[in-house]
Structures are given as C-alpha cells and as structure tokens.
C-alpha cells in the first residue's frame, strides 16, 4: 500500500531533485539484483525528492514486463522508505496498464507514463491512453510529454478533471509556448518537471516557467554535485549555475553527443569511472568507447566533481 496519497506525492516531488537510477545487467544479460539494490541504497542515502525505477535512464524500454516489476520491487525494498520510488509504464495501452498495476503492487508510490511505442496519435487517443492508466491504479500518475505523446493544455486539463491521481507533467520538448499554455491552463493542480536530456542545461530557464524540479541522470554518479546544482537553480543563483555548467555539464554534453544513444551509456560510464560499475547497456544502445570513457574520467577529475570518499563508502 502506498505511503503517500497522490496529492502528498506531488507535494514531495515538486520541491526536490528527482532521478532515474540505471539498471545493472549481469553477464547473463539479466538484472543484477545485488548491484541494483546496492545502487538504490546509495542513491537513497542523499536527500533526493524521488527515484523513478525502470525509466529511460534505467533502460525501461528494454525491460520485459516481468523485469519491469522486478526492478520496481527491488528499488522499493532497497530505498526502504527513505525516498519515494515510482515505476514507469510504457508501450501500448494494455502494456502500460499492466506496468502501472504491477508497479503499484510492488510498492511504488506513483508511475511515470511513457509515450506509446512508435504509434502516432492525436489528442483523443492520448487522452484515452492516459485515462486507462490513471483508472487502473490508485497511485499518482505523471505523463511524459515527448516524442509521439505531446499533450495539449486542454488534454492535460481534461485528464486532471477526470482523475484525481493525475498529478504531474514531465516535459522533454522544451517548447516554451506549449509549456506556457499547459502551466497557465492547469496552474497548481499539477506539478511540472523538466525531462530534457541533460536536464541541468535547461533547469534555470524552465524554473521561471513553473517547472520547479527536473530529473537528473548525472545524479546516478555525481550525486553531491547534482544536488548542489539543484540548490543553485532553486535559489536563482545564475552565476553559480553558469559556473557549474561551464566546469562540468557542458563538457559532459560534448562527450554524450559523440554517439547517438550515449545519453544512457554515459551515465553507466560515469558510474564505472567513479568505481561503482553497473555493467553494460543493453542493445540497441552501446557502451562508451575507451577514449570516451577516458575523457569522462579525466573530466571528473578536472572539474573536481567526483563523489567524496565518504559518499562512495555509503
């Protein structure tokens, strides 16, 4: 049973940094439950707003329904109530409903609804898709505005009117006009979070639009830096944000942009570089090449953002 009501979950998530833990895979290709539990335990040891299991950085797109449920359950157990754990629901509507129901049964406090796989759809179809997931679970549901799932302000409002457990809007497009319409139309009925890769790059301008938080992939391997960055954003400290962007985030993006799909691979590369190896990515993604990994390790040293030894020992 969920600890938070949907409204309580929204209040908790909107004022804390959010992250999507990677999913470690063993030599046999399956989920490495021991390493995953250790990673979630480490990630939960900091003051984080919430963790989303089996999301994009967690390679949720490559997980079977059974693996999706396993990942959420392991995360809930390892977090041990220190921070809310949410699951993810993707694919066709029936698959997304199955993921949401399983996530709730596994103890998740909420669900991020990913775009339907591949299929193009319009507003009525998106409304029906999201409504089916909201109706299938009692936990909070957040829609992910990206790719083929671009929700109009009116569709978001209709979802909010129909479903009390629809609590959040995550954006990965950065369309200023659309975001302005969504926030202006729906106000504080929802909370709004940034989901562009890499979210730190867009965090300060989107905060001014009403997106009070964002999902940080780099929190996986440099949690202290990520939390400091978030505090600077929330304080509207433009000088501190710019310094951190210049020192680490922008050079990090230069490595990420060398190969398509490196947005996930570079996070696992970062974990390897700081001594918390979470294994390889699953195809069709590919691991960082040796030069890319060396460059990332050198950047961590040059930018002085490696986790403190005490943090690594947790």
Listed in sequence order, the DSSP H helices in the chain are 6-13, 33-43, 65-79, 93-105, 123-136, 153-162, 176-186, 203-209, 223-234, 238-244, 250-256, 262-273, 290-302, 309-312
List the structure tokens of 133.
């997931």
Give the span between the Cα atoms of 285 and 300, in whole angstroms: 23
Rounded Cα distance, 230 and 247, in Å: 15
Q: Is 144 a catalytic residue?
A: yes
Report the distance separating Cα 72 and Cα 53, nearest Å: 6
The conformation of residue 289, written as its DSSP 8-state character, comes to P
Question: 14, 170, 244, 268: which is the annotated catalytic residue?
Answer: 170
How many Cβ atoms are within 10 Å of 187's Cβ, its own excluded? Answer: 10
- Which residue in the list 144, 219, 230, 252 is annotated as catalytic? 144
> Hey, what are 266's tokens?
């570079």
> For residues 70 and 304, what is the distance between their CA atoms, to the nearest angstrom?
36
Active site residue 170: yes
Handedness of CA 16, 54, 41, 76 (dihedral sign): positive
Helix (H, G, I), strand (E, B) or coil at 68: helix
CA diameter of the chain? 52
Which residues have a Cβ under 8 Å from the Cβ of 229 and sit 6 or more positions away? 200, 203, 216, 241, 244, 249
Rounded to whole angstroms, the Cα distance separating 31 from 63 reads 9
Q: What is the C-alpha to C-alpha distance for residues 252 and 248, in angstroms, rounded to an integer?
A: 6
Query: Alpha carbon 281 to chain centroid distance?
Result: 17
Q: Identify the three-state secondary structure at position 103.
A: helix
Indicate which residues carry an active-site annotation.
144, 170
């Amino acid at each position: 049973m969920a600890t938070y009501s949907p409204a309580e979950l929204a209040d908790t998530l909107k004022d804390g940094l959010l992250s999507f833990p990677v999913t470690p895979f063993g030599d046999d290709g399956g989920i490495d439950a021991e390493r995953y539990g250790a990673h979630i335990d480490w990630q939960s040891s900091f003051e984080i707003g919430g963790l989303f299991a089996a999301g994009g950085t967690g390679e949720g797109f490559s997980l079977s329904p059974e693996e999706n449920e396993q990942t959420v359950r392991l995360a809930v157990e390892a977090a041990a109530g220190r921070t809310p754990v949410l699951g993810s629901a993707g694919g066709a509507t029936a698959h997304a409903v199955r993921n949401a129901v399983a996530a709730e049964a596994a103890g998740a406090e909420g669900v991020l609804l990913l775009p339907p796989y591949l299929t193009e759809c319009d507003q009525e179809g998106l409304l029906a898709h999201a409504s089916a997931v909201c109706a299938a679970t009692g936990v909070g549901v957040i829609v992910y505005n990206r790719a083929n799932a671009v929700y109009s302000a009116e569709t978001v409002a209709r979802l909010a009117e129909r479903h009390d457990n629809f609590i959040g809007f995550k954006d990965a497009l950065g369309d200023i006009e659309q975001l302005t319409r969504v926030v202006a139309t729906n106000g504080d009925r929802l909370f709004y979070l940034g989901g562009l890769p890499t979210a730190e790059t867009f965090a300060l301008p989107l905060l001014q639009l009403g997106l009070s938080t964002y999902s940080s992939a780099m929190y996986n391997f440099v949690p202290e830096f990520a939390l400091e960055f978030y505090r600077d954003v929330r304080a509207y400290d433009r000088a501190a944000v710019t310094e951190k962007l210049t020192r680490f985030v922008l050079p990090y993006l230069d490595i990420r942009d060398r190969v398509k799909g490196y947005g996930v691979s570079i996070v696992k590369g970062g974990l390897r570089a700081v001594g918390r190896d979470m294994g390889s990515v699953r195809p069709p993604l590919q691991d960082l090449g040796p030069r890319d990994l060396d460059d990332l390790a050198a950047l961590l040293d040059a930018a002085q953002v490696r986790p403190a030894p005490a943090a690594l020992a947790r």
